[in-house]
Structure 1
Amino acid sequence: MTKLEEYIRDPKLFALHWKIIKYLSSIPKNEIRDGQAQVLHFLKRNAINVFPYNFIKKYNAKDLEIKRDKSNNLLYTLEQGKRLYFKRNWKEKHIKRFYPVLQIEQDEDSPHRYLTEDFNVGKGDIVLDIGAAEGNFSLSIVEKVEKLFLFESDSQWLKALEATFSPWKSKIEIINKFVSNEDKEKQFSLNTFFKSNKKVDFIKMDVEGAELDVLKGSVDILRETNSLKLAVCTYHRQNDANEIKDFLEKENFITEFSKGYMIFYYDKLKAPYLRKAVLRAKKDRMK
């Protein structure tokens, strides 16, 4: 579907596009931030996009090679030379829509990028991937870590995750439950899960707006681990960025947002429309 067809099908998206242009254009030139000006420049020349930057044009599925593993009947593609498997009910057309988004999210210029040269997973780290989905983040670091815990509540991803990480079984644990701030039949808190072992070095979190609840259920780990780093998604809800930043800073973390903004139009957006995507945090050792 072209963006024009999408606009015809969903005129609200077209209206949102122009609302954002109007809002950003109303900001005085001496007050508009560089990141906002960059988004405005993009929107005046392109259709609305969750990632309103020109780097997205580098990615498409035209040359994407997808193969079927006869041993498990799952489709996969190669990610940095490693097999990345997909849900059993997905056809090639689903993967070709989905995979370029993964690439866009972790582009060096993407607001959704978790890691940087200065903020990275260390060799021998113990890592929690909360909201693992297909596992591309964990796959990118699997060879250098000591242990990976992948938390994914969607059971349709389990066989794919097991296949993707089968070469590293000894260091992988896949948990098919929700992570939250309460312990119930199908969910638990990290405080409970790690009550006998609080050593955690890095937490990546993308849980569709439940990030703050996960953090509230992780205070024991946050307080007792002196070298902890977190990369937390902050774009799913209107106030997530400020609330998550405030919460972590009260727990003595130094925080910094990833560069740029997302236009997360899957939620009901309102001014200022642009949302910070990922908050990177590390423990302030001076406190």
Structure 2
Amino acid sequence: MNQLTSKLYRIVVPKFIRKRILAKQLPVAILDYYDGRNEPPSVEIQQALNFLKKNPLAIFPYDFQNEYHAEDIEVFDDREKGMRYVLQDGKRLYFKKRWGKRKIRDLYNLLKKEQDIRSPHRYLTQEFRFEEGEVLVDVGAAEGNLALSVVEKASELILFEANKDWIAPLEATFEPWKDKVKIVQKFVSDVTNDTNTTLDDYLSLDDSSVFLKIDVEGAESRLLEGAKRILSAHSPLKVAVCTYHKQNDEKEFTKLLSTYGFRSSHSDGYMLFYFDKKIKAPYFRRGLIRAVKMNENKKSNQ
């Protein structure tokens, strides 16, 4: 399908029908692609292929995701704030105004899958932890589920979220910790202007240990370009950066971070990011990279 035909297809065919067509055609294309290869797939990819043979199209193509059910999630009303929330580890996590309970259940169910210990999108592991007293810089905070999970450990939290509709929910969620939480309504990129900032221009960090989480819907490479000072000069520094938005991000970001002295590893398993209209073989992508750079004194003491 050429560019013109593709554009006409999106105009003429309603979105809900396009989704149904994709849900049927993409698994067939993926299975045909791997059946036609001379070399056998890895164990992780074979598990994903086995999942596709038996289940509907899913962004996390592994059996664990079937353990989660949106209808099991309880949503509460805060009439005073005019928002709804769920309880995450006993703490209130608020969602956008006007969002109904069904939409909240569906999103939070996806978030729970996303942060399952078996998920390719899981930020934290037993080895890659958020430690007591660290500073969290959360770029692309959205509803703030990661920040809320570490808020009591953190010495400071800086949450970047450009979508204005998430600001009020974030303020409500982190109201009990407002003295150590800063919410910044800007895009984080490789330029600084009225609506954008670079990390290098915005952050003035001391010798604190920093945990940097990056999930910015495909703009990760521009953000990293605008963070050269932080990446090269600051330590100790941990970086969890999403790599599923574009096919080559995992390789490119791993190479880039290595030039700054980071030790990197990818998450286990693969994601099937079928929301990318440019998705093509080999289809599966790693969810994120976890990278660590320690200061020299800490290295010498190990």
TM-score calculated relative to the size of structure 2:
0.89
Could you say which structure has the higher helix fraction?
2
CA contact (8 A) 1:256 1:281 kept: yes
Q: Residue 44 of structure 1: SS of its match in structure 2?
A: helix
Q: Which residue of 2 aligns with 1:244?
A: 253
The structure 2 residue matched to 1:15, chosen from 25, 28, 33, is 25
Deviation, 1:101, is 0.2
Residue 25 of structure 1 contacts residue 40 of structure 1 at CA under 8 Å; is this kept in 2?
Answer: no
**Equivalent of residue 69 in structure 1, options 78, 94, 109:** 78
For residue 219 of structure 1, what is the amino acid of its counterpart? K
Match of 1:107 in 2: 116
Quote the offset at 1:87 in angstroms: 0.1
2:61 aligns to what? 52
- 2:126 corresponds to: 117
Q: Alignment length, in residue pairs?
A: 281
8 A contact 1:198–1:221 mirrored in 2: no
2:216 match: secondary structure = coil
SS for the counterpart of 1:157 is helix
Which 4+ runs in 1 deviate beyond 6 A?
none
TM-score (normalised: structure 1)? 0.93
- Kindly provide the amino acid, as one letter, of the partner of residue 25 in structure 2: A
Q: CA deviation at 1:62?
A: 1.7
C-alpha distance in 2, partners of 1:97/1:170?
A: 31
Question: How many angstroms does 1:199 deviate by?
Answer: 4.3
Deviation at 1:24, TM superposition (A): 2.0
Tell me which of 162, 166, 174 is aligned to 2:175: 166
Amino acid at match of 1:278: L
Percent of residue pairs identical: 42
Letter in 2 for 1:106: Q
The correspondence of residues 256-271 of structure 1 with structure 2, limited to 5 A, is: 256-267=265-276, 268-271=278-281
Which amino acid in 2 is paired with 1:169?
Answer: K
Q: Summarize deviations over 1:89-134 as a string: whole Å, max 9, x none.
A: 2111211211100000000100000000110111000110000000
Contact 1:7–1:14 (CA<8 Å) still a contact in 2?
Answer: no
Say if 2:149 is the partner of 1:137: no
Q: 2:17 and 2:122 mapped to 1: Cα distance?
A: 28
Structure-1 residue corresponding to 2:91: 82
Tell me how far 1:12 sits from its aligned partner.
Answer: 2.9
- What is the distance in 1 between the residues matched to 2:238 and 2:45? 28
SS in 2 for 1:94: helix
In 2, Cα distance between equivalents of 1:263 and 1:179: 25
Mark the CA change 1:185 to 1:198 in structure 2 (over 3 Å): closer, same or farther. Answer: farther
**What is the CA-CA distance between 1:34 and the residue it aligns to?**
1.1
Instruction: Determine the C-alpha separation between the residues in 2 that align with 1:101 and 1:227.
Output: 31
Match of 2:289 among 253, 264, 279: 279
Which residue identity does 1:145 align to in structure 2?
A
Distance 1:24 1:39 in 2: 11
Note the C-alpha offset of 1:196.
Answer: 6.4
Q: How do 1:105-254 residues align onto structure 2 when only pairs under 5 Å count?
A: 105-195=114-204, 197=206, 199=208, 201-254=210-263
Q: Which secondary structure state, in structure 2, belongs to the residue aligned with residue 37 of structure 1?
A: helix
1:32 is aligned to 2:41: yes
Offset of 1:228 from its aligned partner? Answer: 0.4
Distance of aligned partners of 1:137 and 1:18 in 2 relative to their CA distance in 1, 3 Å threshold: same
The offset of 1:215, in angstroms, is: 1.1
Q: Deviations over 1:35-92 (max 9, x none)?
A: 1111111111112211101101111122221111122111011011000000002111
Match of 1:3 in 2: none
Show the counterpart of 1:91: 100
> Which secondary structure does the structure 1 equivalent of 2:265 belong to?
strand
Gaps spanning 5+ residues in structure 2: where? 1-15
